[in-house]
Amino acid sequence: MAARRAAFPLLVAVATVVGVATVFFDVAYQSYLPSLVPPERISEGNAKLQIAQSVAQVAGPGLGGVLVRAFGAPLVVLLDALAFLGSVLFLLRIRHREPRPEPSGRRLTAEIGEGLSFVFRQPLLRRIVATTATANLGMSILTSMLVLFAIRDLRIGETGLGLALSVGAVGGLAGALLAEPLMRRVGEGRVIALVLLPPVPVSLLVPLAAGRSGAVAVAMVAVPMAVTGMAGVVYNVAQVSFRQRLCPRPLLGRMNASVRFVVWGTMPIGGFLGAVIGGGHGVLAALWVSIAVQALSTLPVLLSPLVRMRELPRGLDRHSADSRRRTT
């Protein structure tokens, strides 16, 4: 018993370190990609990264379950740590090297303020950030209640919930494959706005699954997960590519960090609200609130010029062109 008590704080510490490192990695890779590919291929680069991530999300949980059953959880955690080491080795094989930026000599608060200022001074980027932050708030309310709702109320068990989430990951893979073709056909700005519409009505299936039989309930949870996963990946490929092309390279890191701070900052709030609403008014009430918040999250981009824009501003393209002209 004492060993178990000692192990839990260690597990929390590891999860904290991994979480903090993930934030640094995500901000860094989104800022590094424009240095690796030309501006006209940034969307392609983001789509391919999303394909890799989606494949891992589809295969990872099932493979993890098999390995845990065969070898036990501690050994699987060790294998996961070795996978991180493998990622480091792959990154070290990247031949491109960025020049080390010159120290600005300014305070950290000034650097942070510059990143936030860029985000909130750009009208289109400001609306995208508002939509993403609000959508994450609504999704966090849902995810905080989903396990309890699926296992206790729907009685589909861990297997049924795992199947529904796996179908959602497959939807994300489909979105990664469709992102570029949709952007070309629908338009870069339009796809950011319009791809958010299908998940809202489909999400109604989740609370309406209450009282349904097992297979029907699994399907009614799985379909919204798939549609939301597909739409979310298309949206992210389009909007991340937009802000990477819009922002000057010296500011990319601060801009991406500012966006991540705002849009992820609503997620713990959503989890807390889900617990409060679920505890006070029931799980179904929390799910309905989640859907209402997600519907409201679409308004900043739907009521913006994005719905009429096939092509989006390319500040980075202009910056690169200016740099090339100066060197010729």
CATH code of the domain containing 61: 1.20.1250.20
Evaluate if residue 56 carries a pLDDT over 90: no
Q: How much is the pLDDT for 36?
A: 86
pLDDT for res 28: 85
Predicted TM-score (pTM) of this structure: 0.84
Q: Is 24 domain-assigned?
A: no
- pLDDT band of residue 317 (cuts 50, 70, 90) is very low
Residue 325 has pLDDT above 60, yes or no: no
**Cα(257)–Cα(99) distance, integer angstroms:** 20
Reported confidence tier of residue 2, pLDDT bands at 50, 70, 90? low
Domain assignment present for residue 101? The answer is no
Confidence of residue 296 (pLDDT cuts 50, 70, 90): very high
Residue 320: per-residue pLDDT: 42
For position 182, what pLDDT does the model report? 92
Supply the range of the domain harboring residue 261.
40-65+111-317
**In this structure, is residue 74 part of a structural domain?**
no
Please, what is the average pLDDT of the chain?
A: 85
Question: Within a domain: residue 73?
Answer: no
Q: Quick check: is 91 in a domain?
A: no
Question: Confidence class of residue 323 from pLDDT cuts 50, 70 and 90?
Answer: very low
Tally the domains of the chain.
1
Q: What is the mean pLDDT of residues 244-260?
A: 88
How confident is the model at residue 9, as a pLDDT?
83
Q: What is the C-alpha to C-alpha distance for residues 225 and 311, in angstroms, rounded to an integer? A: 29
Instruction: Give me the mean pLDDT over the 94-98 stretch.
Output: 80
- Is 3 within a domain? no
**Assigned domain for 52 exists:** yes
User: How many percent of the chain have pLDDT more than 70?
Assistant: 91
The CA distance from 290 to 285, in Å, is 9
Model confidence over 127-180: pLDDT tens digits? 999 999 999 999 999 999 998 899 888 888 878 888 888 888 889 889 999 999
Decide if 46 is inside a domain.
yes
Per-residue model confidence (pLDDT) at position 151: 87
